[in-house]
Amino acid sequence: MGAIANFEEIGLPFLQALNPLNLAEVLLLIPNFLLFSFPKALTAMFILLHHHLYSQCPF
């Protein structure tokens, strides 16, 4: 559920970007997303993939 809520927090500002007045706010959010949210998502995906591939390992 946390991932869904986080996605909504990320997605809503981009939907609101259709309003030109909010465009500057969204442009300020993009570097924040690239620096923080994207590496977290990649890390989570890597951990899940690693666990899936090596869960048969007895260690």
Instruction: Go through the chain and tell me how many residues it has.
Output: 59
Prediction pTM value: 0.36
Predicted local distance difference test score (pLDDT) of residue 6: 53
15-50 pLDDT, tens digit per residue, is 655 666 566 777 777 777 777 777 788 888 888 888
Q: Which residue has the tokens 């939907």?
A: 15
Distance CA 46, CA 15 (A): 28
